[in-house]
């Protein structure tokens, strides 16, 4: 077998040297483009999903979120839960939140929105809310009768033309709020926050104590958001929280976001699979046609090689080497093009919805898998036509039949 491989390699090398250089260059370029298409769309999809998941994690769930059990509306004695969770060395931040539905009115315009009650000091370690203020200031520890308004609820900001808005709200404007329990309050707008994300910019923020008083609660929370030091250790920290005796519903951000983006993931996954299938079929067809035409044109030469003692296996292996030569160089060229384009788009991201920046995610595991898949495809596509031709007996091959 080793002798067949050596003979096949020498034969392939000789065939490549005698081949048309311009044709070989064209084949390598086409295979490079096919490989880039094979990896670029999955990388772009991965970048899109990372962006969305990152936004959900930054504002909604942190690394781990603790929520009431199904039978309860709130987490009772939330401060006791906070104290337990803060005792873990892996935890870098914990914040309790309250949420309530309300209608907001400014002048003659009214919108429905979710109002979050936050503890401003704690949010600095847990979310990006304190850092996305586009106008005014974020809530302070003594903020009462003050409110932060999401940018999409303010006329002139991105998204306000799609959704109902409150009109020309500015810092210092007065907004009337009617909560679901019937309580009515007038707030002064302390700031406008813009996270370029519907979950943040279609809502409003007040101090936790403000919402606690409105709802008539004492120490309860709608959720508790937890940040940990090391990404990827969410499952371990979740188990430790459970071991501390926390009985509420505990979920990692992966578990929570999976349900939110499941449909999007399925759609993107189907697009990814279809793109890969098409790329592999085109690549395999190109290699198959190249090798098939080559073997047909060299049918007589193959017959003579068999007549002088070259084994069919050596001939088949030579064509496998030829196909590998084209594909390896095509993959190398495709990698250069993909990495160059990915780095360019990371420096100059694609704008999505005019505010979200999307760039391809360079995943080494995905690249290695694609390289091995395309190399395997080239071996099969190069072997099949050579196997058909070498099956003919020597006289038929020499006479070109």
Residues 377 and 264 in one domain: yes
Burial code (b: 16+ CB inside 10 Å, e: under 16) for 381-394 equals bbbbbbeebbebee
Residues 38 and 89 in one domain: no
pLDDT at residue 72 in the model: 87
CB 129 within 8 A of CB 138: yes
**338 belongs to a structural domain:** yes
Residues 333 and 285 in one domain: yes
247, 282, 306: which is the final residue of a domain?
A: 247
Residues 6+ apart with CB under 8 A from 74: 68, 98, 217, 220, 221, 222
Phi, psi of 361 (to 5 degrees): -95, 125
Residues 6+ apart with CB under 8 A from 187: 145, 146, 147, 174, 175, 177, 206
What is the Cβ-side half-sphere exposure of residue 346, based on CA atoms within 13 angstroms? 11
Residues 93 and 40 in one domain: no
pLDDT at residue 177 in the model: 94
**Inter-helix orientation angle 312-347/299-307, to 10°:** 130
DSSP three-state, residue 326: helix
**88 belongs to a structural domain:** yes
Q: Which two tokens stand for residue 230?
A: 């090391």
**254 belongs to a structural domain:** no
Number of domains the chain is built from:
2
Residues 8 and 109 in one domain: no
Taking CA atoms, 257 is separated from 57, 116, 126, 216, in Å, by: 8, 19, 17, 31
Degrees to nearest 5, angle at CA 35 with 33 and 38: 110
Interatomic CA distance for residues 240 and 32, integer angstroms: 49
**Bridge partners (DSSP) listed for residue 224:** 96
Residues 276 and 324 in one domain: yes
CB neighbourhood size of 290 (10 A) = 21
Residues 186 and 285 in one domain: no
**63 belongs to a structural domain:** no
**64 belongs to a structural domain:** no
Summarised one tens digit per residue, pLDDT across range 45-60 is 778 777 777 777 888 8
Interatomic CA distance for residues 155 and 170, integer angstroms: 10
**pTM confidence score:** 0.66
Regions of the chain with pLDDT less than 70: 1-8, 11-12, 19, 159-160, 258-269, 291, 294-312, 315, 351-356, 386, 388-401
**186 belongs to a structural domain:** yes
CB neighbourhood size of 258 (10 A) = 13
**Bridge partners (DSSP) listed for residue 112:** 103
Residues 22 and 90 in one domain: no
184, 219, 247: which is the final residue of a domain?
A: 247
Q: Which two tokens stand for residue 254?
A: 């992966």
Interatomic CA distance for residues 234 and 53, integer angstroms: 15
Residues 338 and 394 in one domain: yes
pLDDT at residue 332 in the model: 93
CB 297 within 8 A of CB 352: no
**95 belongs to a structural domain:** yes
247, 272, 289: which is the final residue of a domain?
A: 247
Q: Which residue has the tokens 């360079």?
A: 362
| Pair type for strands 146-150 and 184-193 | parallel
Residues 38 and 148 in one domain: no
Residues 78 and 183 in one domain: yes
Domain range spanning residue 150?
A: 69-247
Residues 267 and 136 in one domain: no
Interatomic CA distance for residues 176 and 166, integer angstroms: 11
Interatomic CA distance for residues 84 and 64, integer angstroms: 14
H-assigned helices in 207-360: 208-215, 234-243, 253-297, 299-307, 312-347
**255 belongs to a structural domain:** no
CB 359 within 8 A of CB 342: yes
């Amino acid at each position: 077998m080793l002798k067949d491989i050596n003979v096949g390699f020498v034969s392939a090398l000789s065939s490549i040297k005698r081949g048309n250089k311009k044709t070989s260059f064209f084949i390598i370029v086409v295979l490079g483009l096919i490989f880039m298409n094979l990896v670029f769309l999955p990388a772009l999809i991965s970048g899109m999903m990372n962006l969305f998941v990152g936004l959900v994690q930054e504002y909604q769930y942190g690394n781990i979120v603790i929520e009431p059990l199904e039978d309860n509306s709130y987490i009772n004695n939330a401060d006791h839960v906070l104290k337990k969770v803060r005792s873990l060395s892996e935890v870098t931040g914990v914040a309790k939140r309250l949420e309530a539905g309300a209608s907001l009115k400014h002048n003659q315009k009214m919108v429905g929105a979710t109002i979050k009650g936050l503890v401003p000091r704690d949010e600095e370690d847990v979310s990006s809310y304190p850092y996305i203020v586009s106008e005014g200031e974020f809530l302070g520890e003594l903020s009462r009768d003050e409110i932060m308004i999401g940018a999409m609820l303010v006329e002139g900001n991105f998204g306000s033309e799609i959704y109902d808005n409150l009109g020309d709200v500015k810092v210092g404007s007065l907004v009337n709020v009617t909560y679901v329990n019937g309580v009515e309050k007038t707030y002064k707008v302390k700031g406008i926050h813009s996270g370029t994300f519907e979950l943040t910019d279609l809502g409003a923020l007040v101090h936790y104590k403000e919402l606690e008083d409105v709802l008539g609660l004492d120490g309860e929370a709608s959720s508790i958001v937890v940040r940990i030091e090391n990404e990827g250790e969410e499952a371990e920290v979740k188990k430790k929280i459970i071991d501390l005796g926390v009985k509420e519903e505990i979920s990692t951000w992966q578990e929570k976001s999976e349900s939110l983006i499941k449909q999007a993931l399925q759609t993107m996954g189907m697009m990814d699979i279809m793109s890969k299938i098409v790329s592999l079929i085109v690549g395999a067809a190109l290699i198959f046609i190249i090798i098939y035409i080559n073997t047909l044109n060299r049918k007589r030469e193959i017959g003579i090689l068999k007549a002088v003692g070259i084994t069919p296996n050596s001939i088949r292996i030579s064509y496998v080497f030829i196909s590998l030569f084209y594909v390896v160089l095509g993959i190398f060229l495709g990698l250069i093009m993909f990495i160059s384009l990915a780095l360019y788009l990371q420096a100059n991201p694609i704008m999505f919805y005019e505010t979200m920046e999307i760039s391809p995610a360079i995943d080494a595991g995905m690249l290695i898998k694609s390289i091995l898949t395309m190399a395997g495809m080239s071996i099969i596509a190069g072997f099949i036509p050579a196997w058909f031709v070498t099956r003919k007996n020597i006289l038929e091959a020499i006479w070109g039949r």
